Amino acid sequence: MANLGVADTPRTTSGGQGRIRRALSAREAGVFVALILMCAFLAVSTDAFLSSRNLLNVGRQISLLGIMAVGMTFVLIAAEVDLSVGSTYALSGLMTGILIVQQWALLPAILVGLALGGLVGFLNGVLSTYGKLPSFITTLGMMSIVRGVALLITNGEPVTVNASSGANGDTLSQFFWIGQGSLFGQIPMQLVFFIVIAFLGWIVLSFTTFGFRVYAVGGGLKAARVSGIKVFSVKIWAFIIMGVLSGLAGILSLAFLPSGQAGRTGVGLELDVIAATIVGGASLSGGEGTMLGTILGVLIIGVLRNGLILLGISPFWQTTIIGLVIIVAVAIDKWTTSRRAG
């Protein structure tokens, strides 16, 4: 009995040390440390950063980016990429606004907007799989197509959702509440949507067969096919999820600021979405990434933007710094992949 006790102790200790090492070596740990250091610096250098008002404002600001980043996590893990998310964001939001102005009820109008997003995602998936086109090229072309469709539908004119445009008063109240309202009078509804979507995304990615298949497909197509996984189906569904969540973000954006123009809404948004997801640990090579990492990546981007504003740094530097963050994140990803391969 004594020998058994002695023998068990090293194994337990070794297992505990192994878990600690894996936790410390995880990409999310590095991102979390970077986030803490950034928050600590801003807390010391500015008086407003830690105020509840500013933190809730940061939460609201990252929400739409976060909702889309959840979808991008599925796409990147499946070893694909989607550059059309900004255009989908614009089309779904503006179409929902047009229908509300035409006195549609809120739910049908939102469902049409989400369906449009899902359709764009479906087309991206089909062209990237059965069409055998690289998703980079497919979604780059779709970015222009969807933007053009939005311009044609709106005739290039702004879409404003208010009573004077013909919208029903009750529908307007409901619509504005999902974008401008707050839960318990404190938590912005956009942040509530992000938390719910991120939680559902974590459940699907971590605990369902579909999530397992997404990782399998991104980790190796041949192995996934041999395992009996319908590779094309998995990739198409990943794009559909991305499209629907882009549409939802666009709808919530219009509900917060009820005016938008097809030529401007969502322009360049795809860069922030991809940056947040990659910073969070998703690999461009596929097969890697977690929902926790994505949330941390979104927080990094959001806190960085908020910090630049609080520090009084020119907004023109924001794009430059985000670009540097993308380059550094991709460099770390490639370096890590090469080191593992070696």
One digit per residue, the tens of pLDDT, for the chain of length 342 reads 444 444 444 444 444 444 444 444 466 777 888 889 889 999 998 888 888 888 998 999 899 999 999 999 999 999 999 999 999 999 999 999 999 999 899 999 999 999 999 999 999 999 999 999 999 999 999 999 999 999 999 998 999 998 888 888 889 999 999 999 888 888 899 999 999 999 999 999 999 999 999 999 998 888 999 889 999 999 999 999 999 999 999 999 999 999 889 988 888 889 889 988 988 888 888 888 899 999 999 999 899 888 888 888 877 787 787 778 778 777 766 676 666 555
Q: What is the CATH number of the domain that holds 48?
A: 1.10.3470
Residue 310 located in a structural domain: yes
Query: Residue with structure tokens 């990429």?
Result: 81
Residue 11 located in a structural domain: no
Domain membership of residue 149 as a residue range: 32-337
Distance CA 314, CA 311 (A): 9
Q: Is the pTM of this model over 0.75?
A: yes
Distance CA 228, CA 306 (A): 46
Distance CA 277, CA 83 (A): 13
**Encoded amino acid at 151, one letter:** L
Q: Token digits for 85?
A: 């998310």
Residue 235 located in a structural domain: yes
Residue 151: CB atoms within 10 A of its CB come to 17
Q: Token digits for 301?
A: 């981007």
Scored b (16 or more CB within 10 A) or e, 55-73 reads eebbbbbbbbbbbbbbbbb
DSSP state of 342: -
Residue 21 located in a structural domain: no
**Cα distances (angstroms) measured from residue 43 to each of 39, 40, 264:** 6, 5, 34
CB 265 within 8 A of CB 146: no
Distance from CA of residue 108 to its chain's centroid? 24
Distance CA 73, CA 270 (A): 13
pLDDT number for residue 48: 87
Residue 152 located in a structural domain: yes
pLDDT number for residue 65: 95
Residue 40 located in a structural domain: yes
**Cα distances (angstroms) measured from residue 179 to each of 12, 154, 232:** 50, 22, 35
Distance CA 118, CA 140 (A): 17
Distance CA 59, CA 66 (A): 10
Q: Name the domain count of the chain.
A: 1
pLDDT number for residue 32: 85
